[in-house]
Structure 1
Amino acid sequence: MAKSAASLEFLDGCIIEKDYFFFSTRLDIQPLDEYDHGRIMWFESGRWFYQDRNWQVSAVCVLANTVSKEDRAYVTLEEGSGVVGFYIPGRKKDVIDEDLPGGEHGHGIASLTDISQVGGNLYLCGYGGRVMRRVDGKWEPFDKGLKALTFGDFLQRGMTVPDALQAAAPTQRDLTAINGFSEDDIYCVGREGLIFHFDGQIWFQIEKPTNVDLNCVHCAEDGFVYAAGNRGVLVQGKGNNFHALATGVHDDFYAATWFDDHLYVGGLKGLYRLEKDGLRYVDTGEGSFKCRALDSCAGQMLVVAKRWLAVFDGLNWKRIDHPDNI
């Protein structure tokens, strides 16, 4: 790992431990339609490090050993290559890349959106109702009850292209985020208000509380599941019962986390905290900003903005700038 030398925007981020963070980024010099490069970064007590990858990284997380805190890996989900990367502290080899089923030999998998540790294993999701699970070092499809007929399926049945497009439109299960309380209680959300729940046996679709795109999901310490999306939509529920909360906010939400007994939600205009009467704007001292990710751990909440970071300890805010963005 070395120091960077190009301005960038943050895409996702998480906390490893106190004052130690992990991110995915995109370089400003990349053309808007170019995704065959990604840069991941670490920030530890004032120092920056980075590694380049061969594809843009849509999501990162920390895979922690549920038995020993000393064993962990920093995990990257590439958006379209069908590759998941593992950076393991203390290993001589910088990275271990694993090909996902269906993405081998450079075939790739389009639109992979989120990865998360639930229990002792990793789960990821993406467009087309795609969910996978990693167990004992092996990736496997985990989409029983989620797969739907696609445009290609209808073409194979002999439909014309216009008819196939029309038939496939309501079947698309484009998933954007995954999270869970346990491996028998997992939730996926997605476009047009999709919410799916895995109960330990099968995925099943929950009645939609909204038709708005949902961009993030968080299983909170109060026992409820929260999903947030466009147009100020925030839904709350558990099991098979979800409802929309009155937020009083006009914003598109992309991140959520639980910190200091409150739900925090990040949007295109900044940060909000859920109170009894709805969402309240949180003054971070930075004015309006685009929130890309939120995480909480080790007595800190990490706010990942497009160009900078902020850390909150419950009393004070601290802004962190990348040196090449100043």
Structure 2
Amino acid sequence: MNKTLNREKWEELFDGFTIVDCVILTEQVFGFVLVEVLDGDSTSATTRFLNISSHQPMEDRFAYAEGNTFSFPNIAMSQSPLEYVAVDTKSNVYSASIERMGEEAAIDQLLDMSTYNGLIGIINKLVRVAGKIYALGDYRKIYRRIGFEQWIELGTEGHGVPPPAYINDEDDSSMEYGFEDMSGFSSDDMYAVGGEGDVWRFDGAKWHQCPVPTNASLKTVCCAGDGVVYITEINGTVWAGRTDTWRRIAGADISPAYAPVDSFWFNDRLYLGGQEGIWTVDAINGRVVRLQEIETDAPNVTNSGRLDISVDGNFLLTAGPYGACIHDGTAWRRLFSAFDYL
């Protein structure tokens, strides 16, 4: 049994909650988003933001804050400054750093998030790209965090993605365009994906639409260490390429309800994380397969799914509803699991 936490700490911090997202700073420092499990109406469920510093003594290694106004939050780790930040679909913000830990003003209280026909935009996902945190919204809106209670919509500095066109005020089809993920080789070479085959590349000055030959809903993008950009469809199918050249490298038939929502390049392999665990590409057969088919020590679905990679790129963290595991480049290691305390 791993000693990241003991039974007492599990019951105090995790019992009655499910893990929905994770973030990693180092091999020994992590953050988790936990949501209370309630019978029936879940709108009043408590969200718990938990920091673990496993190198500290057991009595000092945990810190958390709570709120009951968050709805589907995502968490990301900023490199400069070093801080955890979580944002939910309604733009509510939580952050944790050496100086502070707690809720901030929501993004829509700090700037105009209007999108189409007077509607207020939503946030689909929070990501770290080139060390900075970006909140990805509908209507192709992207917001970069620049400090405590400070965000900027890229369009206000002349670097926004062109908004989708619409036919008339009754036409809501433009609302289908919203980014689900973003990745980058650098701040001057980034890719954002979402909508129905909607892929854009930023060259440091402006965004260019990429002709990926699919109209499927897109969920993830990864600018990988092998110099290739990998994009996944809602069923897990993977496209690979860059700029104007793309090809499908792996088919898949994952249920849309369990579509990959995270993708990272680690240890010369593409990892795709979703609610049913981790997937990867079987290049020989051109299929997306469960990671257990490729790595025999891969964690099961109870302890894996959401993914994050450390700032230095040396560690991959995964968390499922009941536990978490870490890969150090050599092997997987379980940090904790509910089944350790049954």
Specify the TM-score bucket, using the shorter chain as the normaliser.
Answer: 0.7 to 0.9
Q: Is residue 255 of structure 1 aligned with residue 262 of structure 2?
A: yes
Shift of 1:112: 0.7
The answer to whether the 8 Å contact 1:84/1:98 transfers is yes
* Structure 2 stretches lacking a partner, 5+ long: 1-8
Q: Partner of 2:70: helix, strand, or coil?
A: coil
Larger deviation: 233-242 or 46-55?
A: 46-55
- CA deviation vs aligned residue, 1:207-259 (integer Å, no higher than 9, x gap): 23322222222221111221223223112122233332224564532221111
Q: Is 1:264 matched up with 2:271?
A: yes
Task: Tell me the distance in 2 between the aligned counterparts of 1:190 and 1:64.
Answer: 25
Q: Is the 8 A contact 2:274 2:306 kept in 1?
A: no
* Superposed displacement of residue 33, structure 1: 5.3
Q: Structure 1 residues 37 and 131 mapped into 2: Cα distance closer, same or farther (>3 Å)?
A: farther
What is the rounded CA distance, in whole Å, between the counterparts of 2:205 and 2:276 in structure 1?
Answer: 39
Q: Which amino acid in the other structure matches residue 79 of structure 2?
A: A
Residue from 300, 313, 328 that aligns with 1:313: 328
Find the partner of 1:73 among 59, 83, 87: 83
1:229 corresponds in structure 2 to 233
1:184 corresponds in structure 2 to 188
Do the aligned residues in 1 keep the contact of 2:323 with 2:338 (CA within 8 Å)?
no
Structure 2 match to 1:118: 129
Structure 1 equivalent of residue 144 of structure 2:
133
Asked if structure 1 preserves the Cα contact closer than 8 Å seen for 2:139 and 2:174, the reply is no
User: After alignment, is 113-122 or 210-219 more displaced?
Assistant: 113-122
CA distance in 2, matches of 1:35, 1:195: 36
Whole-angstrom distance in 2 between the partners of 1:183 and 1:24: 27
Check whether the contact 1:310–1:318 (CA below 8 A) recurs between aligned residues. Answer: yes
Alignment TM-score, normalising by the size of structure 2: 0.76
SS in 2 for 1:79: coil
Alpha-carbon contact 2:165-2:174 (below 8 Å) kept = no
SS of the equivalent of 1:176 reads strand
> Amino acid of the residue matched to residue 87 of structure 2?
L
Per mean C-alpha deviation after superposition, the further-off stretch among 96-105 and 171-180 is 96-105
Counterpart contact for 1:184–1:199, Cα < 8 Å: yes
| Equivalent residue number for residue 293 of structure 1 | 306
- Structure 1: how far apart are the matches of 2:300 and 2:131? 39
Residue 274 in structure 1 maps to residue 274 in structure 2: no
CA distance in structure 2 between the aligned counterparts of 1:146 and 1:32, rounded to whole angstroms: 39
Deviation (angstroms), 1:300? 2.3
The one-letter amino acid of 2:84's match is: Y
| Structure 1 unmatched ranges of 5 or more | 66-70, 156-163
Alignment of 1:1-326 (within 5 A): 3-4=12-13, 6-29=15-38, 31=40, 34=43, 37-45=46-54, 47-53=61-67, 54-56=69-71, 58-65=73-80, 72-80=82-90, 82-89=91-98, 91=99, 93-95=100-102, 97-101=104-108, 110-119=121-130, 121-135=132-146, 138-143=150-155, 144-149=160-165, 154-155=168-169, 164=170, 167-169=171-173, 172-247=176-251, 250=254, 252-277=259-284, 278=286, 279-283=288-292, 284=297, 286-288=299-301, 291-297=304-310, 299-321=314-336
* Contact 1:253–1:267 (Cα < 8 Å) also in 2: yes
SS in 2 for 1:272: strand
Q: Within 2, Cα distance between the matches of 1:117 and 1:320?
A: 23
Distance of 1:320 and 1:312 partners within structure 2: 10
Instruction: Tell me which amino acid in the other structure corresponds to 1:94.
Output: M
The answer to whether the Cα contact below 8 Å between 1:149 and 1:168 also exists between their aligned partners in 2 is: no
Structure having the larger proportion of residues in strand: 1
Offset from partner CA, 1:133-158 (integer Å, 9 cap, x none): 234664222143332356xx943xxx
Question: Structure 1 residues 27, 33: CA separation in 2 closer, same or farther (over 3 Å shift)?
Answer: closer
C-alpha RMSD of the superposition:
3.4
Q: Is the 8 A contact 2:301 2:320 kept in 1?
A: no
Contact 1:213 1:230 in 2 (8 A): yes
Q: Normalising to structure 1: TM-score of the pair?
A: 0.79
Percent of pairs with identical residues: 21
Asked if structure 1 preserves the Cα contact closer than 8 Å seen for 2:38 and 2:45, the reply is: no
